[in-house]
Amino acid sequence: MEFSRRAMLGAMGGLAAGGTLAALTGKAIADAPVPAAMSEGKGGHFMQMGGEFSWKPMKLDPAECAPVAYSGYWYKGFGCGYGVFYGIVGMMAEKYGAPYNSFPFSMMELWKGGVSDWGTLCGALGGAAAAFSVFFPRKEAIPMVNELFRWYEQTAFPIYNPGEAAQGVKGVLPTSVAHSVLCHVSVSTWCHETKLKANGKERSERCGRITADVCAKAIEILNAKIEAGKDWKGALAKQESVAGCTSCHGKDKMSDMQKGNMDCTPCHSGSDAVADKFHDHPQQ
């Protein structure tokens, strides 16, 4: 089918108009004023409105926030990381408004299933660590993360019971100790010990309740940090396996091939399912 002269001229006119609009739009963007807080630094990169770590952390009630975190787990299926993060920063938003209410909370859905169902870090812990890092720089957040993660590794979950408000399964659920911060290990250990399915309602309920547990513990740590300030340190010592392994493996040690603070035993205990890194170790 051939274009008529009128149709061709109309199309060309549209392209010309579109090009003019694009040019004007680009000029408008280029001429738009950049906030002073965003224009500092080389090229204006990496600056943050108000400055880095400028949001003030507020104390919260763990008992009040835990049910919110539990409900957040079920909200649109957003999961554990969303539930914990909203149970902390979202509750500050509900109570105090700006700037907390400007956070795009839905992005925390990425933590579901240990980051998009990859079974890596438990999303509840990821949401809590992210909340800590909204307010505190790395050196101050690390002790908070250490305390929360060590507590998680050695605690029998779930603790929280929503009672009649349960959205998955009502009643008491069996517990297990994960000895790991990984979603894969935490879920698989619980399923192995309870003989319940990883894709069953009981497991979903378990993770919803752990969302409440982690949120409550994270708020306890946050409140203690706010009271003590920069010098706050956690109470839980380094895991025995980590202390043992890092005596030889790590920075400035005889074998610098290990990085991290996770309990070593779930992956290196020498059981039938995992590699044997303890029996007759080190080998001569």
List the chain domain ranges: 62-231, 238-278
Helix (H, G, I), strand (E, B) or coil at 155: coil
Query: What pLDDT was estimated at residue 25?
Result: 47
| C-alpha to C-alpha distance for 194 and 203, rounded to whole angstroms | 10
Phi and psi angles of residue 106, each rounded to the nearest 5 degrees, phi first: -60, -20
Quick one: CA dihedral 54, 59, 65, 68, positive or negative?
negative
Instruction: Decide: residue 198, CB within 10 A, 0-12 exposed, 13-18 middle, 19+ buried.
Output: middle
* Whole-number pLDDT of residue 262: 76
Closest CA to 57 of 151, 146, 128, 148: 128
Q: Report in angstroms the alpha-carbon separations of 59 from 2, 218, 253.
A: 71, 11, 41
Q: Residue type for 94, please?
A: E
Q: Where are the alpha helices (DSSP H) in 32-122?
A: 62-74, 80-85, 91-96
Write the CB contacts of 86 (distance below 8 Å, at least 6 apart in sequence).
68, 69, 72, 105, 108
Q: Is 137 exposed, middle or buried (0-12, 13-18, 19+ CB in 10 A)?
A: exposed
Mean pLDDT by 10 residues, the chain (284 residues): 46 48 51 57 79 96 98 98 98 98 97 97 98 97 97 97 98 97 97 96 98 98 96 81 72 74 73 61 58
- Supply the pLDDT for residue 278: 64
Amino acid at 181: V
How confident is the model at residue 167, as a pLDDT?
98
State both tokens at 107.
């992005």
pLDDT at 33: 59
Q: Before 104, cis peptide (omega within 30)?
A: no
C-alpha span between 151 and 168 (Å, rounded): 25
Secondary structure of residue 269 in the 3-state scheme: strand
Alpha-carbon distance of 284 to 277, in angstroms, equals 13
User: What pLDDT is recorded for position 210?
Assistant: 98
Q: Is the Cβ–Cβ distance between 122 and 114 less than 8 Å?
A: yes
So what's the pLDDT on residue 251? 78
| 73, two tokens | 């787990």
